[in-house]
Amino acid sequence: MSEVLGNILPLFTLVLIGYGGGRSRWMNEEMVKGLSSFVYYLAIPALLFRTLGRGDIVQALDPQILAVYFTAVFLVMAVAWIIGSLLFGSRPQELPVLALGATYSNIVLLGIPLIYALFGAPGLLPIMIIVTLHSLILLPLTMVLIEFGRGAGNSMRHALAQSFVAVLKNPVILSIIAGIAFNLSGLTLPGSVDRLASLLGGASAPCALFALGATLSAYRLGGDFRESITLVALKLLLLPALVWVLATQIFSLPPVWVLVATLTAALPTGVNVFIIAHQYQIYVARTTATVLISTAVSVVTVTALVVWFGQAN
C-alpha cells in the first residue's frame, strides 16, 4: 500500500502545486495558457505517437474496451438525465450538459499522465483507445442535444458539423492516428527523432498535472451544490463501478485493461464540460462546481481505487 501511495500522491501533489501557483498569481493567465498549449499540442501528442509507433503495440489493441466504457457512459448519462428532469426540474437544454458533467472524464490533462506514470506504455494502450472516441462521441452528441432542447434545427446541424471538425483537428486524436499509421508502415524513427519524442513525452506528466491545477485555480464555486454533488457522485462512484462490472463480469478484459478503464471512468469531470456550458451559457455555475469538487474528491477516490486494485492483485 505504501508503494502505491508513494506513486500516486506525488501526482496529485503536482496538481495542488499548480493550483497554488495559479491562485498566488505566480503563474498568470498567459503563462498557464502557454504551458497548457505545450502539453496539449506537443508533449502528450509526442508521447502518444512514440508509444503507438513502436513495436507490435497496434496488434494488441482490443476494441472490447469501447463496448465496456461507452455502455457504462450511456447508462450513467441516462440516470443523470432522469435525475435532472425529475428531481431538479432542469430545462431540456440543460439536461445534456448535466449528463455530460456526470460522464466526461479529464483524460488528457489528468488521465494520460496518471496512467503513464503508474503503468507505462502498456497502460497507455487502453486509454488511447478510449480517448480516440471520447470527445468524438460525447461532445458532438451534447451540442446536438442542447440545440434539440432549444428547438433549433438549423443550429443543431451547424453544431454537429462544427464539433466534428474541432474534434478531428484535435492534436491528441491526430497523434494517435499518425502513430498507428506509422506503426503499420513498418518504419522506425531515427535515433535523434526518437530521443526528441522521448524528451517531449517525458515532460507530459509533470507539465500536464501542474497545468491542470493552475487552470482550475481560475474557477469559482457557485450554483446549486445539490446538483453538483449529485453529478460528482455519479461521475466518481457510479460510472467506475459500472465499468468495472462490465469489464469483469460481462466482458473478459486483461487485468491491466480493467484497471485502466475503471480508473479512466473514475477521473474527475473534464474542463471541456465547463467550456461547452460557457459557450451556450447553460448550467455554468453548477458545471464549474462539478469540475472543481470532482477534482478535489478524486484525490481520495482515485487513490483508494488504486490501493484497492493493488491489494486485490
Of residues 2 and 110, the one with the higher pLDDT is 110
Report in angstroms the alpha-carbon separations of 265 from 31, 33, 85, 238, 241.
30, 26, 24, 9, 9
- Angle, CA of 257, 47 and 199, to the nearest 5°: 135
Quote the domain boundaries for residue 110.
2-308
- Does residue 235 lie in a domain region? yes
Is the pLDDT at 56 greater than 70? The verdict is no
- Does residue 249 lie in a domain region? yes
- Does residue 175 lie in a domain region? yes
Say how far apart CA 294 and CA 51 lie, in whole Å: 29
Q: Model pTM?
A: 0.85
What tens digit of pLDDT does each residue of 120-146 get? 888 888 998 898 888 878 988 888 888
- Does residue 260 lie in a domain region? yes
Residue 152: per-residue pLDDT: 58
Burial class (CB within 10 angstroms; exposed 0-12, middle 13-18, buried 19+) of 191:
exposed
- How many domains are there within the chain? 1
- Does residue 179 lie in a domain region? yes
Neighbours of 313 (CB within 10 A): 9
What tens digit of pLDDT does each residue of 215-228 get? 888 887 776 789 99
- Domain of 292, CATH number, reads 1.20.1530.20
- Does residue 313 lie in a domain region? no
